[in-house]
Amino acid sequence: MRVRKRSTMAALAAGLLVLTGACAEGNQGAPATSSSAPAASAEPFKPPTITVGTAEDSKGPAIEPEGVVRGGTVTMIDRDDFAHFDPGQSYVNTATNFGLLIHRGLTGYKRVAKGDYKLVGDLATDAGTVSDGGKTWTFTLKDGVKWQDGSPITSEDVKWTIERTFAPFITQGPTYVQQWLTEADHKKAYQGPYDGKRLDAIETPDDKTVVFKFKTPHADANYAFAMGGYAIVPKAKDTKEKYDKEPFSSGPYVIKSHVVDKTLDLERNPNWDAATDPIRGAYPDKWHMEFGQEALQITDRLMADAGADQTAFTFYASVPPERLQQVLGDASLAPRLLKSPSPYGNYYYFNLDRVKDVKIRQAINYAWPSKQIQQVSGGPAAAALPTTILNENTTVGYEPYDLFGKTTKPEGDIDKAKELLAQSSNPTPTIVYAYNQTPVQEQVTVVIKSALEKAGIKVVAKPLDRKTYYDSIGLVKNEFDLYWGGWGADWPSGSTVLPVIFGPVADGAPNYAHLKDPALTAEMDKITAMADIDEANAAWMALDKKVQETITPLVVAENRIANILHGSKVGGAEIDPQFWIVSPNTIFVKQ
């Protein structure tokens, strides 16, 4: 679940949910944020329930939202066109969310009710069968699943799909399955099927069965296959690089016309059978998508709700700060306003090579001005204050904890911070805080500086150019002590968060804290190898707390809340809590 890349533009259009890569989520854009925004009362958000469904759950059709109407044309308006149509190149949430309309994968998430999801078989009859202690996964394809030309989707297509992601031209999609099948440097191990070499680790004993044999156990592999990046590509229609512009549909719609950066129109795929699909409702007959509109324009159009805009919605354009107060204060807009907190992890990382004393790191956590940051970020209506590394929206088995009193003293506990500093190696440390030089982050920096200085910590603020921000903080030998970074889970488990943000230390790697702890690595390897997914999820959550308790490599940052409007004749609009984008699966057009 990666958030998208055309990111620096986001700074020009604060308000968009479209952010830079998951590792680049956040400071550069996003919904909120000005001190003039309202301080509406915080609303409790219930995290979604995500469980693994049965074969029965995997049968179509999808569960209908209340009051569903079939037919009509729905309009979607956003700023950016989709970066990719080739699933192998799709990682950003906008591309994979759109992909739900034209692509299908082995597994996927079925909406059972609001906030209640099940991982089910999409093309597969169920969410997969695991054996060999988690190393072998077997999927059986459903009867009647077809490509847009009516030809059947086969296990050979599935094998081909995974194999082609090893090809040199694929550089942007997820790499989990490839690495599990081969090695960490998977492109070195295998270069794709185009020269006739095939991958023995994927077996297709018949047209319906596909078997994946991993090198090590992966109890959550069925979640990995639900990623949009692993949607199936037809072997017979694979045009390599060109496939990114001319995808072949297995989903409910086909692309009728596409003018890059301007419009995209979809019409029904006659060979898609709702009876095989438990995930996609596909209620409108046609989709019309318009690109190039900024969040402000989109909000104004949806607020006005005039003419054709009554049947319009947006996948990700959140209400910008200049309209937030007006939108939140207008009761007539409430039924058309969607809200959801970000599922991404946002952190202020300590550079452990420089801030070596855990007492200082904990003191900073205690002194952290979460409430003040929330205020300059738009108030409780625009930002929540999480206390854990793992995000509650994307963690099955989530258990809350609050080690540094963020819930009881969100404005910061200066006395406790001073107490810890007095016990530390340096009671008056100097911290070099690097930040992304956007207007909002300028304000946040002032707040942080002011709070930490009250505790006796001198803050030297270093503004970084937004375009090279991640390059700068990504250097192992950087000259900063503290900096913001984001990360998004790829499926609802700590396995795609903790081993990544505390993984290998290298230039450009997402371990921005430079945390090198053999005991921690061993613990993470042990959890990864667990065959029981529930046990693994509980272990990730416990490790989350243990890391913050014993090492404290970061301060958990504020978490933005999306506020998205839709037209009055659009029904079934919901922000997917995992992907933080309006799902196309339940959308319908009211008569």
Partner 1 sequence: MLRFLTRRALGAVVTLVVISAVTFFLFFAVPADPARLACGKVCPPELLEQARHNLGLDQPLFAQFTAWLAGIFVGRDYGGLGHCPAPCLGYSFVNKAPVFETILDRLPVTVSLTVGAALVFLLFGVATGIIAALNQGRPLDKIASVSSLIGFSLQIYFVGTLALYFLVYQNQILTRPQYRPFTEDPLAWAAGLALPWVVLSIIFTANYTRMTRSTMVEQLGEDYVRTARAKGMKGRSVVMRFALRGTLTTVITIFGVDLGALIGGAIITETTFGLQGLGRLSINAVTDSDLPVLMATVLVAAGAIIVFNIIVDALYAFIDPRVRLS
Q: Which is nearer to partner 1, 11 or 367 (CB)?
A: 11
Q: Is 185 one of the binding residues for partner 1 (CB under 8 A)?
A: yes
Q: Is 74 one of the binding residues for partner 1 (CB under 8 A)?
A: no
What contacts 498, CB < 8 A, 6 or more positions away? 389, 390, 524, 540, 543, 544, 547
Query: CB atoms < 10 A from the CB of 505, how many?
Result: 15
Q: How far is the CB of 575 from partner 1 (least distance, A)?
A: 21
Q: Which is nearer to partner 1, 304 or 422 (CB)?
A: 304
Q: Is 537 one of the binding residues for partner 1 (CB under 8 A)?
A: no
Options 149, 156, 265, 300; binder of partner 1; rule CB under 8 A = 300
Q: Which is nearer to partner 1, 244 or 558 (CB)?
A: 244
Whole-number Å distance between alpha carbons of 8 and 519: 38
Q: Is 2 one of the binding residues for partner 1 (CB under 8 A)?
A: yes
From 347-355, 386-394, 501-509, 530-538, give the range in contact with partner 1 by CB under 8 A.
501-509
Q: Is 468 one of the binding residues for partner 1 (CB under 8 A)?
A: yes
From 8-16, 217-225, 437-445, 538-546, give the range in contact with partner 1 by CB under 8 A.
8-16
Whether the CB-CB separation of 223 and 493 falls below 8 Å is answered with yes
Options 36, 54, 131, 171; binder of partner 1; rule CB under 8 A = 171
Judging by beta carbons within 10 Å of its beta carbon (0-12, 13-18, 19+), is residue 454 exposed, middle or buried?
middle
User: E strands of 260-354, at which residues?
Assistant: 263-268, 286-291, 312-313, 337-341, 344-350
From 38-46, 66-74, 247-255, 299-307, give the range in contact with partner 1 by CB under 8 A.
299-307
The contacts found for 63-67 with CB under 8 angstroms, 24 or more apart, are 63/110, 63/111, 63/112, 63/113, 63/278, 64/281, 65/281, 65/571, 65/572, 65/574, 65/586, 65/588, 67/571, 67/590
Q: Is 173 one of the binding residues for partner 1 (CB under 8 A)?
A: yes
Q: Is 439 one of the binding residues for partner 1 (CB under 8 A)?
A: no
Q: Is 306 one of the binding residues for partner 1 (CB under 8 A)?
A: yes
What are the backbone dihedrals phi and psi of residue 552, each rounded to the nearest 5 degrees, phi first?
50, 65
Options 59, 187, 268, 590; binder of partner 1; rule CB under 8 A = 187
Q: Is 178 one of the binding residues for partner 1 (CB under 8 A)?
A: no
Q: Which is nearer to partner 1, 187 or 371 (CB)?
A: 187
Options 240, 286, 371, 590; binder of partner 1; rule CB under 8 A = 240
Q: Is 206 one of the binding residues for partner 1 (CB under 8 A)?
A: no
Give the CA radius of gyration of the chain.
24
Q: Which of residues 83-122 bind partner 1 (CB under 8 A)?
A: 83, 91
Options 47, 234, 510, 567; binder of partner 1; rule CB under 8 A = 510
Nearest Cα to Cα of residue 14 among 585, 562, 590: 562
Whole-number Å distance between alpha carbons of 177 and 89: 14
Whole-number Å distance between alpha carbons of 445 and 369: 11
The H-assigned helical ranges of 377-506 are: 414-423, 439-454, 469-473, 498-501
From 105-113, 143-151, 235-243, 522-530, give the range in contact with partner 1 by CB under 8 A.
235-243
The H-assigned helical ranges of 173-215 are: 176-181, 186-189
State the residues that interact with partner 1 by CB under 8 A: 2, 5-9, 12, 21-23, 81, 83, 91, 168-169, 171-175, 185, 187-188, 240-242, 244-245, 259-262, 291-294, 296-297, 300-301, 303-304, 306-307, 467-468, 471, 500, 506-510
